Chain A
Amino acid sequence: MKLVLRLLGVAALVALGVVIYRAVRQYREDSVFDLGAGTQPGTPASGEPRSISPELLAILADPGDKGPVELMTDSEGKEWLVNRRNGYRYPVEDGIPIMLLEEGEKNRDESLIIQQS
Protein backbone atom coordinates (compact mmCIF):
# COMPACT_ATOMS: atom_id res chain seq x y z
CA MET A 1 0.00 0.00 0.00
CA LYS A 2 2.79 2.41 1.02
CA LEU A 3 4.66 1.62 -2.17
CA VAL A 4 1.58 2.46 -4.24
CA LEU A 5 1.13 5.80 -2.46
CA ARG A 6 4.81 6.63 -2.91
CA LEU A 7 4.62 5.83 -6.62
CA LEU A 8 1.50 8.01 -6.94
CA GLY A 9 3.34 10.87 -5.21
CA VAL A 10 6.27 10.60 -7.60
CA ALA A 11 3.91 10.49 -10.59
CA ALA A 12 2.10 13.61 -9.35
CA LEU A 13 5.42 15.49 -8.99
CA VAL A 14 6.46 14.53 -12.51
CA ALA A 15 3.06 15.62 -13.90
CA LEU A 16 3.32 18.96 -12.07
CA GLY A 17 6.77 19.48 -13.57
CA VAL A 18 5.47 18.83 -17.07
CA VAL A 19 2.55 21.25 -16.57
CA ILE A 20 4.85 24.04 -15.34
CA TYR A 21 7.30 23.44 -18.21
CA ARG A 22 4.48 23.64 -20.76
CA ALA A 23 3.02 26.80 -19.19
CA VAL A 24 6.41 28.52 -19.30
CA ARG A 25 6.96 27.49 -22.92
CA GLN A 26 3.47 28.67 -23.89
CA TYR A 27 4.04 31.99 -22.14
CA ARG A 28 7.32 32.51 -24.05
CA GLU A 29 5.62 31.75 -27.35
CA ASP A 30 2.81 34.18 -26.53
CA SER A 31 5.34 36.85 -25.63
CA VAL A 32 6.93 36.46 -29.04
CA PHE A 33 3.52 36.96 -30.63
CA ASP A 34 2.98 40.11 -28.58
CA LEU A 35 5.85 41.75 -30.46
CA GLY A 36 4.34 41.03 -33.87
CA ALA A 37 2.56 44.04 -35.34
CA GLY A 38 -1.16 43.60 -35.93
CA THR A 39 -1.40 40.24 -34.24
CA GLN A 40 -4.56 39.79 -32.20
CA PRO A 41 -4.16 36.89 -29.82
CA GLY A 42 -7.69 37.55 -28.50
CA THR A 43 -9.27 36.85 -31.85
CA PRO A 44 -11.21 33.59 -31.74
CA ALA A 45 -9.87 31.06 -34.19
CA SER A 46 -13.36 30.02 -35.32
CA GLY A 47 -14.95 32.77 -37.35
CA GLU A 48 -15.03 36.54 -37.76
CA PRO A 49 -12.98 38.49 -35.23
CA ARG A 50 -15.26 39.80 -32.52
CA SER A 51 -13.86 43.03 -31.28
CA ILE A 52 -15.66 45.81 -29.49
CA SER A 53 -17.02 48.33 -32.00
CA PRO A 54 -15.39 51.79 -32.07
CA GLU A 55 -18.83 53.43 -31.85
CA LEU A 56 -19.64 51.58 -28.64
CA LEU A 57 -16.19 52.27 -27.22
CA ALA A 58 -16.70 55.98 -27.82
CA ILE A 59 -19.80 56.16 -25.61
CA LEU A 60 -18.82 53.68 -22.92
CA ALA A 61 -18.22 54.98 -19.41
CA ASP A 62 -17.48 53.46 -16.05
CA PRO A 63 -20.79 52.41 -14.49
CA GLY A 64 -19.67 53.85 -11.16
CA ASP A 65 -18.11 57.26 -11.73
CA LYS A 66 -19.35 57.63 -15.36
CA GLY A 67 -15.87 58.71 -16.45
CA PRO A 68 -14.07 57.38 -19.54
CA VAL A 69 -12.62 53.87 -19.75
CA GLU A 70 -9.55 52.78 -21.70
CA LEU A 71 -9.31 49.64 -23.85
CA MET A 72 -6.25 47.65 -22.81
CA THR A 73 -4.93 44.21 -23.74
CA ASP A 74 -3.16 42.13 -21.08
CA SER A 75 -0.19 39.83 -21.59
CA GLU A 76 -2.54 36.95 -22.41
CA GLY A 77 -4.20 38.94 -25.17
CA LYS A 78 -7.42 39.45 -23.22
CA GLU A 79 -9.18 42.80 -23.65
CA TRP A 80 -10.22 44.92 -20.69
CA LEU A 81 -11.92 48.26 -20.30
CA VAL A 82 -10.01 50.02 -17.58
CA ASN A 83 -10.96 52.90 -15.33
CA ARG A 84 -7.55 54.55 -14.81
CA ARG A 85 -8.89 56.53 -11.83
CA ASN A 86 -9.58 53.54 -9.57
CA GLY A 87 -8.02 50.56 -11.40
CA TYR A 88 -11.35 48.79 -12.01
CA ARG A 89 -11.04 46.43 -15.00
CA TYR A 90 -14.13 45.34 -16.93
CA PRO A 91 -13.67 42.20 -19.03
CA VAL A 92 -14.55 42.05 -22.73
CA GLU A 93 -15.99 38.59 -23.34
CA ASP A 94 -16.13 37.61 -27.01
CA GLY A 95 -16.52 41.27 -28.01
CA ILE A 96 -19.16 42.06 -25.36
CA PRO A 97 -18.03 44.44 -22.60
CA ILE A 98 -19.15 43.30 -19.15
CA MET A 99 -19.72 46.67 -17.49
CA LEU A 100 -20.82 45.46 -14.07
CA LEU A 101 -19.39 47.14 -10.97
CA GLU A 102 -18.76 43.82 -9.20
CA GLU A 103 -16.76 42.58 -12.22
CA GLY A 104 -14.70 45.77 -12.28
CA GLU A 105 -13.99 45.52 -8.58
CA LYS A 106 -13.19 41.80 -8.72
CA ASN A 107 -10.59 42.37 -11.48
CA ARG A 108 -9.19 45.58 -10.04
CA ASP A 109 -5.53 46.27 -10.78
CA GLU A 110 -4.17 49.14 -8.72
CA SER A 111 -0.99 49.31 -10.79
CA LEU A 112 -3.08 50.72 -13.67
CA ILE A 113 -4.18 53.77 -11.69
CA ILE A 114 -2.92 57.07 -13.03
CA GLN A 115 -2.85 59.78 -10.39
CA GLN A 116 -4.75 62.85 -11.57
CA SER A 117 -2.58 65.96 -11.50
Chain B
Amino acid sequence: MSATDRRSFLKTAALGAAATWIQPELGALYALPSGVALRVGLVGCGRQGRAILAELAKIEGVSVTAICDTDERRLSSSARRAPEAKAYATHAELLEANDVDAVVVATPTHLHVAPTVDALKAGKHVYCEAPLAHTIEDAQTIATAARGATGVFQAGFLGRSNPVYKLARSFVRAGAIRDVIAMRAQYRKKTSWMTPSSDPAREKALNWKTDPAISLGLAGEFGAQQLDVLQWFTGRYPEAISGSGAVNAWADGREVADTISCTLEYPEGLRTTYEATLGNSLGGTHEEIFGTMGAVRLAWTHGWMFKEADSATQGWEVYANRQSFHNDEGITLIADATKLAAQGKLKEGVGLPEPPIYYGIWDFVKSAAEGADVATGATEGLRATVVGILAAQAVSTGERVEIDPKLFEG
Protein backbone atom coordinates (compact mmCIF):
# COMPACT_ATOMS: atom_id res chain seq x y z
CA MET B 1 0.00 0.00 0.00
CA SER B 2 1.48 3.37 -1.01
CA ALA B 3 1.59 6.26 1.43
CA THR B 4 -1.27 7.97 -0.40
CA ASP B 5 -3.39 4.83 -0.47
CA ARG B 6 -2.72 4.27 3.19
CA ARG B 7 -3.71 7.83 4.07
CA SER B 8 -6.86 7.51 2.00
CA PHE B 9 -7.67 4.17 3.63
CA LEU B 10 -7.13 5.55 7.11
CA LYS B 11 -9.29 8.55 6.37
CA THR B 12 -12.13 6.43 5.08
CA ALA B 13 -11.85 3.93 7.89
CA ALA B 14 -11.78 6.61 10.57
CA LEU B 15 -14.81 8.41 9.17
CA GLY B 16 -16.61 5.15 8.69
CA ALA B 17 -16.21 4.38 12.34
CA ALA B 18 -17.67 7.72 13.30
CA ALA B 19 -20.60 7.72 10.96
CA THR B 20 -21.55 4.21 9.90
CA TRP B 21 -25.28 4.75 10.44
CA ILE B 22 -25.56 7.46 7.83
CA GLN B 23 -28.05 6.99 5.06
CA PRO B 24 -25.95 6.26 1.97
CA GLU B 25 -28.25 8.03 -0.44
CA LEU B 26 -27.78 11.55 0.95
CA GLY B 27 -27.00 13.85 -1.94
CA ALA B 28 -28.41 11.42 -4.48
CA LEU B 29 -31.72 11.99 -6.25
CA TYR B 30 -34.53 10.53 -4.19
CA ALA B 31 -37.33 8.81 -6.09
CA LEU B 32 -40.24 6.59 -5.26
CA PRO B 33 -39.88 3.04 -6.60
CA SER B 34 -40.95 2.50 -10.17
CA GLY B 35 -44.72 2.15 -10.39
CA VAL B 36 -45.34 3.89 -7.04
CA ALA B 37 -47.01 7.29 -7.30
CA LEU B 38 -48.32 9.82 -4.81
CA ARG B 39 -50.76 12.60 -5.63
CA VAL B 40 -50.42 15.52 -3.23
CA GLY B 41 -52.67 18.47 -2.47
CA LEU B 42 -51.39 21.63 -0.77
CA VAL B 43 -53.66 23.60 1.56
CA GLY B 44 -52.16 27.05 2.27
CA CYS B 45 -50.16 28.78 -0.47
CA GLY B 46 -48.08 31.30 1.47
CA ARG B 47 -44.29 31.44 1.48
CA GLN B 48 -43.95 28.09 3.28
CA GLY B 49 -46.47 26.43 1.00
CA ARG B 50 -44.59 27.62 -2.07
CA ALA B 51 -41.33 26.34 -0.61
CA ILE B 52 -42.94 22.94 -0.09
CA LEU B 53 -44.17 22.87 -3.69
CA ALA B 54 -40.58 23.31 -4.87
CA GLU B 55 -39.46 20.32 -2.80
CA LEU B 56 -42.34 18.10 -3.92
CA ALA B 57 -41.40 18.81 -7.55
CA LYS B 58 -37.97 17.28 -6.93
CA ILE B 59 -39.26 13.83 -6.02
CA GLU B 60 -39.90 11.47 -8.91
CA GLY B 61 -43.23 9.71 -8.51
CA VAL B 62 -44.86 12.64 -6.70
CA SER B 63 -47.33 14.90 -8.49
CA VAL B 64 -49.02 17.95 -7.03
CA THR B 65 -52.58 17.62 -8.29
CA ALA B 66 -54.36 20.22 -6.16
CA ILE B 67 -53.61 23.52 -4.42
CA CYS B 68 -55.90 25.48 -2.14
CA ASP B 69 -55.99 28.95 -0.61
CA THR B 70 -58.71 31.44 0.21
CA ASP B 71 -56.42 34.21 -1.10
CA GLU B 72 -56.61 34.36 -4.90
CA ARG B 73 -53.23 36.06 -5.32
CA ARG B 74 -51.41 33.42 -3.34
CA LEU B 75 -53.29 30.73 -5.17
CA SER B 76 -52.27 32.07 -8.59
CA SER B 77 -48.68 32.51 -7.45
CA SER B 78 -48.54 28.87 -6.36
CA ALA B 79 -50.24 27.77 -9.58
CA ARG B 80 -47.14 28.93 -11.43
CA ARG B 81 -44.99 26.71 -9.26
CA ALA B 82 -47.32 23.71 -9.67
CA PRO B 83 -48.83 24.29 -13.14
CA GLU B 84 -50.56 20.90 -13.39
CA ALA B 85 -52.48 21.34 -10.12
CA LYS B 86 -56.18 22.20 -9.92
CA ALA B 87 -56.86 25.26 -7.78
CA TYR B 88 -59.47 25.33 -5.01
CA ALA B 89 -60.69 28.09 -2.71
CA THR B 90 -61.46 25.78 0.22
CA HIS B 91 -60.03 22.54 1.54
CA ALA B 92 -63.53 21.03 1.51
CA GLU B 93 -63.69 21.42 -2.27
CA LEU B 94 -60.22 19.96 -2.61
CA LEU B 95 -61.17 16.90 -0.57
CA GLU B 96 -64.48 16.51 -2.36
CA ALA B 97 -62.72 16.35 -5.73
CA ASN B 98 -60.91 13.32 -4.31
CA ASP B 99 -57.92 13.38 -6.63
CA VAL B 100 -55.22 13.42 -3.97
CA ASP B 101 -53.67 10.67 -1.83
CA ALA B 102 -51.97 13.05 0.56
CA VAL B 103 -52.51 16.58 1.88
CA VAL B 104 -49.89 19.06 3.09
CA VAL B 105 -51.36 21.66 5.46
CA ALA B 106 -49.40 24.92 5.44
CA THR B 107 -52.09 27.40 6.44
CA PRO B 108 -51.56 29.91 9.27
CA THR B 109 -51.18 27.99 12.56
CA HIS B 110 -54.65 28.79 13.91
CA LEU B 111 -56.19 27.37 10.73
CA HIS B 112 -54.44 23.98 10.77
CA VAL B 113 -57.07 22.02 12.63
CA ALA B 114 -59.98 21.93 10.16
CA PRO B 115 -58.10 20.86 6.99
CA THR B 116 -55.92 18.43 8.95
CA VAL B 117 -58.79 16.66 10.70
CA ASP B 118 -61.02 16.67 7.60
CA ALA B 119 -58.25 15.24 5.41
CA LEU B 120 -57.48 12.52 7.96
CA LYS B 121 -61.18 11.64 8.15
CA ALA B 122 -61.25 11.42 4.36
CA GLY B 123 -58.51 8.77 4.58
CA LYS B 124 -55.71 10.99 3.27
CA HIS B 125 -52.12 10.99 4.46
CA VAL B 126 -51.45 14.35 6.12
CA TYR B 127 -48.36 16.46 6.71
CA CYS B 128 -49.20 19.34 9.08
CA GLU B 129 -46.82 22.24 9.52
CA ALA B 130 -45.38 23.04 12.95
CA PRO B 131 -46.64 24.01 15.44
CA LEU B 132 -49.76 21.89 15.05
CA ALA B 133 -52.13 24.49 16.46
CA HIS B 134 -52.40 27.68 18.51
CA THR B 135 -54.33 26.06 21.37
CA ILE B 136 -53.72 22.86 23.28
CA GLU B 137 -57.29 21.79 22.57
CA ASP B 138 -56.82 22.07 18.80
CA ALA B 139 -53.47 20.29 18.97
CA GLN B 140 -55.07 17.46 20.95
CA THR B 141 -57.91 17.28 18.42
CA ILE B 142 -55.36 16.86 15.63
CA ALA B 143 -53.39 14.24 17.57
CA THR B 144 -56.54 12.26 18.36
CA ALA B 145 -57.66 12.35 14.73
CA ALA B 146 -54.19 11.28 13.60
CA ARG B 147 -54.08 8.31 15.98
CA GLY B 148 -57.41 7.03 14.73
CA ALA B 149 -56.69 7.60 11.06
CA THR B 150 -55.95 5.08 8.33
CA GLY B 151 -53.53 7.46 6.64
CA VAL B 152 -50.05 8.50 7.72
CA PHE B 153 -49.72 11.64 9.83
CA GLN B 154 -46.48 13.62 10.07
CA ALA B 155 -45.96 16.79 12.10
CA GLY B 156 -43.62 19.29 10.46
CA PHE B 157 -40.93 19.40 13.15
CA LEU B 158 -37.97 19.28 10.84
CA GLY B 159 -35.02 18.65 13.14
CA ARG B 160 -35.99 14.99 13.35
CA SER B 161 -35.65 14.59 9.57
CA ASN B 162 -32.47 16.66 9.12
CA PRO B 163 -29.38 14.55 8.28
CA VAL B 164 -26.96 16.93 10.03
CA TYR B 165 -29.14 16.93 13.14
CA LYS B 166 -29.40 13.13 13.10
CA LEU B 167 -25.61 12.91 12.95
CA ALA B 168 -25.17 15.43 15.77
CA ARG B 169 -27.74 13.61 17.89
CA SER B 170 -25.92 10.33 17.44
CA PHE B 171 -22.71 11.97 18.66
CA VAL B 172 -24.39 13.61 21.65
CA ARG B 173 -26.20 10.43 22.65
CA ALA B 174 -22.97 8.46 22.31
CA GLY B 175 -21.36 10.80 24.84
CA ALA B 176 -19.16 12.86 22.53
CA ILE B 177 -19.72 15.99 24.63
CA ARG B 178 -20.12 13.93 27.84
CA ASP B 179 -22.82 15.17 30.25
CA VAL B 180 -25.28 17.73 28.89
CA ILE B 181 -25.24 20.66 31.31
CA ALA B 182 -27.19 23.38 29.50
CA MET B 183 -28.91 24.18 26.23
CA ARG B 184 -29.62 27.37 24.37
CA ALA B 185 -31.42 28.37 21.18
CA GLN B 186 -32.02 31.61 19.35
CA TYR B 187 -33.98 33.05 16.46
CA ARG B 188 -32.82 36.44 15.22
CA LYS B 189 -33.97 38.21 12.11
CA LYS B 190 -34.54 41.85 11.28
CA THR B 191 -38.07 42.01 9.95
CA SER B 192 -41.29 43.77 10.85
CA TRP B 193 -43.14 40.42 10.47
CA MET B 194 -45.85 42.30 8.57
CA THR B 195 -47.36 41.51 5.17
CA PRO B 196 -48.59 44.40 3.04
CA SER B 197 -51.98 44.70 1.41
CA SER B 198 -54.06 47.67 0.32
CA ASP B 199 -57.22 45.74 1.22
CA PRO B 200 -57.85 46.06 5.01
CA ALA B 201 -59.65 42.71 5.34
CA ARG B 202 -56.90 40.90 3.45
CA GLU B 203 -54.23 42.72 5.43
CA LYS B 204 -55.79 41.56 8.70
CA ALA B 205 -55.94 37.96 7.50
CA LEU B 206 -52.35 38.00 6.23
CA ASN B 207 -51.01 39.51 9.45
CA TRP B 208 -52.19 36.77 11.81
CA LYS B 209 -48.70 36.54 13.34
CA THR B 210 -49.11 39.93 15.01
CA ASP B 211 -52.70 39.35 16.12
CA PRO B 212 -52.53 38.56 19.87
CA ALA B 213 -55.84 36.67 19.74
CA ILE B 214 -54.46 33.96 17.46
CA SER B 215 -50.68 34.28 17.36
CA LEU B 216 -48.24 32.28 19.48
CA GLY B 217 -45.61 34.90 18.73
CA LEU B 218 -41.94 34.03 18.39
CA ALA B 219 -41.99 31.39 21.16
CA GLY B 220 -44.64 29.38 19.35
CA GLU B 221 -43.88 30.02 15.70
CA PHE B 222 -40.13 29.41 15.94
CA GLY B 223 -39.48 28.29 19.51
CA ALA B 224 -41.67 25.19 19.26
CA GLN B 225 -39.64 24.01 16.26
CA GLN B 226 -36.23 24.74 17.81
CA LEU B 227 -37.02 23.52 21.32
CA ASP B 228 -38.22 20.23 19.86
CA VAL B 229 -34.69 19.66 18.59
CA LEU B 230 -33.32 19.93 22.13
CA GLN B 231 -36.10 17.73 23.50
CA TRP B 232 -35.39 15.13 20.82
CA PHE B 233 -31.67 15.20 21.61
CA THR B 234 -32.11 14.76 25.35
CA GLY B 235 -35.41 12.86 25.54
CA ARG B 236 -36.58 15.35 28.17
CA TYR B 237 -39.58 17.67 28.22
CA PRO B 238 -39.82 20.78 30.41
CA GLU B 239 -41.49 20.89 33.84
CA ALA B 240 -41.88 24.67 33.89
CA ILE B 241 -41.31 27.69 31.66
CA SER B 242 -40.66 31.33 32.56
CA GLY B 243 -40.61 34.04 29.97
CA SER B 244 -40.83 37.69 29.14
CA GLY B 245 -41.18 39.77 26.06
CA ALA B 246 -41.51 43.33 24.86
CA VAL B 247 -42.11 45.36 21.74
CA ASN B 248 -38.63 46.84 21.43
CA ALA B 249 -38.07 47.03 17.69
CA TRP B 250 -41.40 47.78 16.05
CA ALA B 251 -43.45 50.29 18.04
CA ASP B 252 -46.30 50.33 15.52
CA GLY B 253 -49.08 49.63 17.99
CA ARG B 254 -48.61 45.87 18.01
CA GLU B 255 -49.07 43.83 21.17
CA VAL B 256 -47.25 40.63 20.20
CA ALA B 257 -43.68 40.92 21.52
CA ASP B 258 -40.92 41.32 18.95
CA THR B 259 -38.16 40.45 21.41
CA ILE B 260 -38.50 37.60 23.90
CA SER B 261 -36.58 35.34 26.22
CA CYS B 262 -37.63 32.14 27.98
CA THR B 263 -36.11 29.73 30.45
CA LEU B 264 -37.28 26.14 30.29
CA GLU B 265 -36.71 23.91 33.32
CA TYR B 266 -36.12 20.25 32.54
CA PRO B 267 -35.76 17.35 34.99
CA GLU B 268 -32.50 17.03 36.93
CA GLY B 269 -31.78 20.74 36.89
CA LEU B 270 -31.19 21.03 33.14
CA ARG B 271 -32.11 24.45 31.75
CA THR B 272 -32.65 25.78 28.26
CA THR B 273 -32.62 29.46 27.47
CA TYR B 274 -34.45 30.58 24.37
CA GLU B 275 -34.29 34.04 22.93
CA ALA B 276 -35.78 35.51 19.81
CA THR B 277 -36.01 38.92 18.24
CA LEU B 278 -37.26 40.62 15.10
CA GLY B 279 -34.92 43.57 15.58
CA ASN B 280 -31.46 42.12 14.89
CA SER B 281 -30.07 39.28 12.80
CA LEU B 282 -26.73 38.45 14.50
CA GLY B 283 -26.18 34.70 14.57
CA GLY B 284 -29.48 33.96 12.84
CA THR B 285 -31.23 30.77 13.86
CA HIS B 286 -29.43 28.06 15.78
CA GLU B 287 -29.52 25.69 18.73
CA GLU B 288 -26.66 24.80 21.07
CA ILE B 289 -26.10 21.90 23.44
CA PHE B 290 -23.35 22.27 26.01
CA GLY B 291 -21.61 19.31 27.63
CA THR B 292 -18.65 18.99 29.94
CA MET B 293 -16.39 17.86 27.11
CA GLY B 294 -17.74 19.89 24.21
CA ALA B 295 -20.67 21.64 22.62
CA VAL B 296 -22.73 21.27 19.47
CA ARG B 297 -24.13 24.16 17.46
CA LEU B 298 -26.81 23.42 14.89
CA ALA B 299 -27.91 25.92 12.26
CA TRP B 300 -30.30 23.82 10.10
CA THR B 301 -28.10 23.58 7.00
CA HIS B 302 -24.85 23.33 8.96
CA GLY B 303 -23.65 21.91 12.26
CA TRP B 304 -20.44 22.08 14.28
CA MET B 305 -18.90 20.41 17.28
CA PHE B 306 -16.67 22.45 19.61
CA LYS B 307 -14.42 20.40 21.85
CA GLU B 308 -12.98 21.26 25.22
CA ALA B 309 -9.18 21.14 25.34
CA ASP B 310 -9.19 18.19 27.74
CA SER B 311 -11.48 16.00 25.66
CA ALA B 312 -10.08 12.97 23.86
CA THR B 313 -9.34 13.27 20.14
CA GLN B 314 -11.31 10.91 17.93
CA GLY B 315 -9.67 9.45 14.84
CA TRP B 316 -12.11 11.03 12.42
CA GLU B 317 -11.38 14.54 13.69
CA VAL B 318 -7.95 14.53 12.06
CA TYR B 319 -9.42 14.81 8.59
CA ALA B 320 -12.55 16.80 9.42
CA ASN B 321 -13.25 20.28 8.08
CA ARG B 322 -13.01 23.08 10.60
CA GLN B 323 -14.36 26.59 10.83
CA SER B 324 -13.21 29.41 13.10
CA PHE B 325 -15.58 31.48 15.22
CA HIS B 326 -13.38 34.12 16.87
CA ASN B 327 -11.39 32.12 19.45
CA ASP B 328 -13.31 28.89 18.94
CA GLU B 329 -12.87 26.26 16.27
CA GLY B 330 -15.86 24.21 15.17
CA ILE B 331 -15.50 20.79 13.61
CA THR B 332 -17.98 20.70 10.74
CA LEU B 333 -20.54 17.92 11.00
CA ILE B 334 -20.94 16.33 7.59
CA ALA B 335 -23.83 13.97 7.19
CA ASP B 336 -22.48 11.73 4.44
CA ALA B 337 -18.84 11.94 5.45
CA THR B 338 -18.00 8.31 4.77
CA LYS B 339 -19.07 8.39 1.16
CA LEU B 340 -17.56 11.79 0.47
CA ALA B 341 -14.26 10.83 2.07
CA ALA B 342 -14.13 7.74 -0.12
CA GLN B 343 -14.56 9.99 -3.15
CA GLY B 344 -12.03 12.54 -1.88
CA LYS B 345 -14.81 15.15 -1.79
CA LEU B 346 -15.09 15.81 1.91
CA LYS B 347 -14.84 19.58 1.52
CA GLU B 348 -17.81 19.55 -0.86
CA GLY B 349 -19.94 18.02 1.85
CA VAL B 350 -20.14 21.11 4.07
CA GLY B 351 -23.79 22.08 4.37
CA LEU B 352 -26.81 20.05 3.35
CA PRO B 353 -27.27 19.34 -0.36
CA GLU B 354 -30.97 20.19 -0.07
CA PRO B 355 -32.93 22.75 2.02
CA PRO B 356 -33.98 21.38 5.46
CA ILE B 357 -37.68 21.26 4.49
CA TYR B 358 -36.83 18.79 1.72
CA TYR B 359 -35.91 16.06 4.21
CA GLY B 360 -39.17 16.49 6.14
CA ILE B 361 -41.19 16.27 2.95
CA TRP B 362 -39.17 13.30 1.73
CA ASP B 363 -39.78 11.45 5.01
CA PHE B 364 -43.51 12.11 4.67
CA VAL B 365 -43.64 10.96 1.05
CA LYS B 366 -41.73 7.81 1.89
CA SER B 367 -44.07 7.01 4.79
CA ALA B 368 -47.21 7.74 2.76
CA ALA B 369 -46.19 5.95 -0.42
CA GLU B 370 -44.05 3.12 0.91
CA GLY B 371 -45.11 2.68 4.53
CA ALA B 372 -41.78 3.78 6.00
CA ASP B 373 -41.71 4.67 9.71
CA VAL B 374 -43.09 8.15 10.41
CA ALA B 375 -40.33 10.62 11.31
CA THR B 376 -42.44 12.82 13.60
CA GLY B 377 -45.82 11.43 14.55
CA ALA B 378 -48.83 12.78 16.39
CA THR B 379 -47.41 12.27 19.88
CA GLU B 380 -44.10 14.02 19.19
CA GLY B 381 -45.94 16.75 17.28
CA LEU B 382 -48.39 17.31 20.13
CA ARG B 383 -45.64 17.45 22.77
CA ALA B 384 -43.56 19.93 20.80
CA THR B 385 -46.64 22.05 20.13
CA VAL B 386 -47.59 22.06 23.82
CA VAL B 387 -44.11 23.36 24.70
CA GLY B 388 -44.47 26.14 22.13
CA ILE B 389 -47.94 27.13 23.34
CA LEU B 390 -46.91 27.22 27.01
CA ALA B 391 -43.71 29.13 26.20
CA ALA B 392 -45.88 31.66 24.37
CA GLN B 393 -48.14 31.83 27.43
CA ALA B 394 -45.15 32.44 29.71
CA VAL B 395 -43.94 35.25 27.45
CA SER B 396 -47.31 36.96 27.11
CA THR B 397 -48.21 36.78 30.82
CA GLY B 398 -44.71 37.14 32.25
CA GLU B 399 -45.61 34.38 34.71
CA ARG B 400 -43.90 31.06 35.36
CA VAL B 401 -45.97 28.25 33.86
CA GLU B 402 -45.82 24.88 35.59
CA ILE B 403 -46.53 22.05 33.18
CA ASP B 404 -48.82 19.15 33.95
CA PRO B 405 -46.84 16.07 32.80
CA LYS B 406 -50.11 14.55 31.59
CA LEU B 407 -49.91 16.94 28.66
CA PHE B 408 -46.94 14.95 27.36
CA GLU B 409 -48.59 11.56 27.75
CA GLY B 410 -49.84 9.54 24.84
A binds B: no
List residues of chain B with CB under 8 Å of any chain A CB. none
